[in-house]
Structure 1
Amino acid sequence: MPRGGKRGHKGRGKQFSNPEEIDRQMKAQKELDENPGAEKVDSADSEEESSSDDDTERKRSGVEGLIEIENPNRVSQKSKKVTELDVSAPRELSRREREEIEKQKSKERYMKLHLEGKTDQARADLARLAIIKKQREDAAKKRDELRKDAEESKAKR
């Protein structure tokens, strides 16, 4: 099947000129208008310049070659050498790492206060423990009394 579907491909692919190339051509045209005798020399020079510029610049695909864009979000990855790395410098922590460290420290502080009995939860726990101890002591006393009563009743028979 031909390019472009059933109807075929119409026209050619678009080719855009480099802005630097256009500027060069405009300057050459101005010089030609001013100096009609220098026509042959300029065209030879411009061909040499364009071929040397193409070799030094890398080929850019698409619109990248046409428009010079300064994108602040695009950061080029620069690799550092081992000699350039500063190991002794303190590394900045990310927000998540800082929050995690803060969370651990606050938990440790709370546990320390909790063990000392200074937190509300610790006070409530201690009060609950006191109530449970008292209930257990009362239950133990009742059991002892029931045993003694049971032994006395057996002894009377």
Structure 2
Amino acid sequence: MPRGKFTNHKGRNRRFTNPEELEEERRREEQQKKWRQKRGESSSEESEDEAAGDKKISEGSEDSDSETEDSDEDDGKAKGVSNLIEIENPNRVQKKTKKISNLNAADLDSKPQLSRREREEIEKQKAQAHYQKLHAEGKTEQARADLARLAIIKQQREEAKKRREAEIKEKENAVKEKTAQVKKALGKK
């Protein structure tokens, strides 16, 4: 059987821990806890866990189940300096339940915190509404330019209307003169 990079461990023998080994490990951990307590490194949480663990051991020292429970508790505790270092992973924040009595009325009434993009979007909308209001009142440069253009266009349209009316009158007069000349030429009065 090759002992290379890719090996399969399924065919190997299983190794079970003896009860004597478990008992020896438990004793060693108890000695370490006592040593820590003497030095003052134990926190209040560890001392509470130790007291609960000691009660369980004293109640059922003959049962092997209590020994397995102690070993499970010891595995859950931080070993080394990991209990001294507190690391907060923002992706793994556990939500804490809040009581209604603890909530302040100010917290409920306060506006929700907006993100930078949301704030910028709201400011942009307010600025645009303000500009539209000033534009409608004619107080902006663009509004003044638009009004000046409108005045010029109105004047041009009035002049064009007067020209058209004058042309129509001239045509009517020319038609009347022509009919008058035709009637005179025919001898009709």
TM-score interval for Structure 1 and Structure 2 normalised by the shorter chain? 0.5 to 0.7
Amino acid across the alignment from 1:87 = L
RMSD, aligned α-carbons? 4.3
Question: How far, CA to CA, are the matches of 2:9 and 2:132 in structure 1?
Answer: 77
The equivalent of 1:112 in structure 2 is 133
Which residue does 2:8 correspond to in 1? 9
Alignment partner of 1:121: what SS?
Answer: helix
How far residue 145 of structure 1 moved from its aligned partner, in angstroms, is 0.7
Q: Equivalents in 1 of 2:79, 2:159: separation in Å? A: 91
Instruction: State the distance in 1 between where 2:169 and 2:163 align.
Output: 10
Q: SS where residue 148 of structure 1 aligns?
A: helix
User: 1:98 deviation in Å?
Assistant: 1.4
Indicate the residue corresponding to 1:17 in structure 2: none
Greater share of helix: 2
Distance 2:164 2:87 in 1: 84
Q: TM-score, normalised by structure 1?
A: 0.58
TM-score (norm 2): 0.50
1:123, 1:99 → 2: CA distance? 29
- 1:37-56 residue pairs with structure 2 within 5 A? 51-52=69-70, 54-55=72-73
The equivalent residue for 1:128 is 149
For 1:87-102, list aligned pairs within 5 A.
87-102=108-123
* Pairing partner for 1:80 from 97, 110, 113: 97
Seq. identity, %: 44
Higher relative contact order (CA 8 A, sep 6+): 1
Give me the whole-angstrom Cα distance separating, in 2, the residues matched to 1:57 and 1:89: 45
- d(CA) in 1 for partners of 2:166 and 2:67? 116
